[in-house]
Amino acid sequence: MSDAKIIDGKAIAADVRAGVAKDVARLKAEHGFVPGLAVVLVGEDPASKVYVKNKAAQTVETGMLSFEHKLPAETAEADLLALVDKLNKDPAVNGILVQLPLPKHINSEKVLNAIDPDKDVDGFHPVNVGRLWIGARSLVPCTPTGSLILAKTVQENLSGLDAVVVGRSNIVGKPMASLLLAQSCTVTVCHSRTKDLPGVVRRADLVVAAVGIPEFVKGDWIKPGAIVIDVGINRVPKGDGKTKLVGDCDYESCAKVAGAITPVPGGVGPMTIACLLKNTVEAALIQKGLPALS
């Protein structure tokens, strides 16, 4: 039995999508346009195909336009760059997402940097990274945005909290740290060279785990009552020849100590696409010179 409040990412993601649908309807009624998201998939990676299908379906469900571009694995880098350029110039396309990983012969950084920063709904372009750090209006990576929304459902005002982010990747750890700093948390970012990681995590009122190691963060590292946001998604053997998904936190032991915790699956995972849809609306507003809606 867990003592922590379980943060229901599935339900909260549904609320975010409902909010996006409302915003889309309002933009159509008040400004006469419908935001559009283009998703580019190169190759046949099975997981990527599922993500792209889900992204397209949820885009349409919120009333937006979805443009899918499926290219063969042997597509030349120059052809992909030409497609990105075309999408950059297409006024019906407000958001562009190039599904990662790309085939090895394509330089991912070059492709991502070719996306118009105002259409960069993944928030990976260096211009958006910079805007986020200086507190300017920007498109923010989806997983950290979703993680922050989840934490704020537990405690709306995070100001002054000690927050520890475990992981310093460009797509999760670093933008997460920036978002928490903007919430006036005192932020510590940990990584593989951090000394006494359990001791550092134990000081945290809010822990975000984005490590990529199954069940890495243990319950006795958690300060009683802390908010624990588990970003990890790891597929591990279940023992019966099948597999299951687990997070980067040891859920059972952490849930006994935490005040609130996200489960895996059903925590941060569903928030990522919901925040991608939110970013598409925000991208459209930025391009039209309109203020943010929420």
Catalytic residue among 23, 58, 99, 118: 99
Residue number, 56 or 293, with CB nearest to ligand NDP: 56
Could you confirm whether 10 is annotated as catalytic? no
**C-alpha to C-alpha distances, 140 to 118, 136, 180, 205, nearest whole angstrom:** 11, 11, 13, 23
CB of residue 49 to ligand NDP, shortest distance in Å = 16
* Cα 211 from Cα 201, distance rounded (Å): 13
From 118, 120, 122, 250, the catalytic residue: 122
Q: Which of the following is catalytic: 55, 119, 174, 223?
A: 55
Structure tokens at 212: 């990529």
Taking the least distance from each CB to ligand NDP, the nearer of 83 and 206 is 206
**Least gap, CB of 194 to ligand NDP (angstroms):** 6
Taking CA atoms, 81 is separated from 64, 112, 287, in Å, by: 25, 9, 21
How far is residue 291's CA from residue 281's CA, in Å, rounded to a whole number? 11
Q: Which lies closer to ligand NDP via its Cβ, residue 165 or residue 226?
A: 165
Is residue 89 annotated as part of the catalytic site, yes or no? no
Q: How far is the CB of 110 from ligand NDP (least distance, A)?
A: 19
Catalytic residue status for 3: no
Question: 98: which residues sit within 8 A by CB, 6+ positions away?
Answer: 40, 42, 80, 84, 111, 112, 115, 122
Three-state secondary-structure class, residue 141: coil
Q: Which residues bind to ligand NDP, rule: CB under 6 A?
A: 143, 166-169, 171-173, 190-194, 197, 210-213, 231-234, 248, 268-269, 272
| C-beta nearest to ligand NDP: residue | 169
C-beta of residue 61 within 8 angstroms of C-beta of residue 90: no
Cβ distance to ligand NDP smaller for residue 116 or 280:
280
User: Active-site positions?
Assistant: 55, 99, 122
